[in-house]
Chain A
Amino acid sequence: MNNKLFEYTLRIADDSLILGQRLSELCGHGPILEEDIALTNISLDLIGQATNLLEYAASIENKQRDADKLAFLRVDKEYKNSLLVEQPNGDFGSTIVRQFLFDSFRRPFFEALASSTDESLAAIAKKSLKETKYHLKHSSEWVIRLGDGTSESHQRVQKSIDVLWRYHSDLFYEDEVDLALVSENIAPSFKEIKKEFNQHVLAVLEEATLKLPDNNWEFTGGRKGMHSEHLGHLLAEMQYMQRAYPNMEW
């Protein structure tokens, strides 16, 4: 069971870590100063969540790996984030759509995880839920603004949805790890969460005059460590110091 709990915690942690890292690339490059600050805030929240979750994962594993070792010293196949969060930032619209799909999943997910029988996960979920609600409000408002803004913004953001939608199902990937924990009431089932996700996404897209793509071909694999080409580069950058100067205090 501990192996499964470790694996499950890593999946949540890595989503926060990798998306936090992606957003941190944008610090200093936002389309307006106010958005620079907002995206950095979200990045900070995600790095904070990742830290809490990785500390918990480290304590479950109990093998002298701390949160930093888990964050910086695994190889790509050992990262269990969903494919969605490792996708490159692209233009502002695609950064926002990626965030919107993720937040739409994360809000009901943390809401459900907050009543987990695992006290540590429940506590982290409660704390993260507050932040996530704010993130979702922010990303939803931007999807509406861009969708119902100019024809250029509408086209751009529609294109981002067409491209990124294929990765959403990886967020809901479920295997024996989840199923075992669901039966213990540690993990919530994805059924209700997916319903809420769909509802929110469709409502926002409608207000934004956008639509889901007809093509419903879906990608999964992230939870099993099967990633896109993008993750390796992200890790090369993120791990640089730890790899170049091993075993030092910073």
Chain B
Amino acid sequence: MSEISLEELQKKFQNKIDKDVKIEPRDWMPDDYRKTLIRQISQHAHSEVVGMLPEGNWITRAPNLRRKAVLLAKVQDEAGHGLYLYSACETLGADREQTIDDLHSGKAKYSSIFNYPAISWADMGAIGWLVDGAAIMNQVPLCRCSYGPYARAMVRVCKEESFHQRQGFEIIMVLAKGTPAQKEMAQDALNRFWWPSLMMFGPNDAESKHTKQSMDWKIKRHTNDELRQMFVDVTVPQAESIGLTVPDKDLKWNEKENRYDYGKIDWEEFWQVVKGNGPCNEDRIRVRKKAKDDGLWVREAAMAFSQKRNNKAKVA
């Protein structure tokens, strides 16, 4: 059998990308494509799992039975998203345990929004509304991502994300229409989560080192700034409709461009939080690491048990 040359493989790969044919785990792919995907999907998986913590912080204090159940279901969904994504990552040859250890050692990143504290019940509203809302903006185009398993995971995830966004908006809406104390709580949550939510889309296009290649590979379909603009345009009218004020004095409707102009993002804060200096970075990792360490004996027991049973089955 004749060897297919690297050049031919690359041509075939690019051909598929151009024709919007999905790349599947057994297909040949360039090393950098694989690496980029592993980095992006594992970061995404970590974000789902670390993202359980700020909301998990309020499940035990949810104000009524319905809210408690909805929040539990929501946070549980995020664990499910983590699972699909770790599996998608494994199809690229990444080891789940190693991927998780990279998170715990600080080598791998996750969305820096989760390094902000959830200090009031209204934050459950702001997180669902803004953070899941921003996640939807990012993830809907990923349903068309060139890598099959990632695209398919995103289809399942996106269905649930819209429920997350709605439950969050509903929480904040009830507060905004509630007593003065509740309204103040809602406005305060918006004040704290607005700018970090805009940062979720990543650096400005000019500063974003991965964007161009990712777009050529059809992993990404829109630039960071495009997605951020879409988010602002959808979210500002929602805030207005419930009588809350977006904390940006430069925010105004641009008639000519048919979009909102918004103020300058504090990128210094963004990079500080990414580097580990946010208010909760250490807590988040400590808690995740503790869950893994505390679970070691459980995982060992499960493994030992299934080995024993396999041996028994062989003997019998």
Interface residues of A (CB under 8 A from B): 21, 24-25, 27-37, 40-41, 43-44, 47-48, 50-51, 54, 67-68, 71-72, 91-93, 144-146, 148-150, 152-153, 156, 237-238, 240-242, 245, 248-250
Contacts and interface: CB of A to CB of B under 8 A. Distances in A.
7 contacts: A27-B72, A33-B49, A40-B79, A145-B301, A156-B297, A240-B61, A245-B181
Contacts of A34: 83
Contacts of B296: 31
B135 interface: no
A47 B65 contact: yes
Interface string B257-292: 000000000000000000000000000000100111
Given A34-B83, A51-B65, A67-B65, A92 B60 contact: no
B52 A248 contact: no
A28 B53 contact: yes
A40 B296 CA distance: 20
A92 B291 CA distance: 10
Q: Is the interface of A mostly helix, strand, loop or mixed?
A: helix
Given A24-B72, A43-B72, A68 B65 contact: yes
Contacts of A144: 305
B308 interface: yes
A54 B59 CA distance: 19
B94 to A, nearest CB: 16
B215 interface: no
Interface centre among B296, B299, B300, B302, by most chain A C-beta atoms within 10 angstroms, is B302
A92 B60 CA distance: 19
B211 interface: no
Contact of A30 (B65, B175, B295, B303): B295
Contacts of B76: 27, 36-37, 40-41, 44
Q: Is the interface of B mostly helix, strand, loop or mixed?
A: helix
B287 A29 contact: yes
A24 B290 CA distance: 17
A155 to B, nearest CB: 10
A245 B182 contact: yes
A242 B287 CA distance: 28
Bin the interface of chain B by size.
35 or more
Interface string B55-67: 0100111111111
Given A30-B291, A149-B304, A237 B61 contact: yes
A40 B61 contact: no
B111 to A, nearest CB: 15
B200 interface: no
B75 interface: yes
Contacts of B230: none
Q: Which 9 A-B pairs have the closest CB atoms?
A: A31-B295, A149-B301, A153-B301, A28-B56, A241-B63, A28-B52, A250-B63, A31-B298, A40-B76
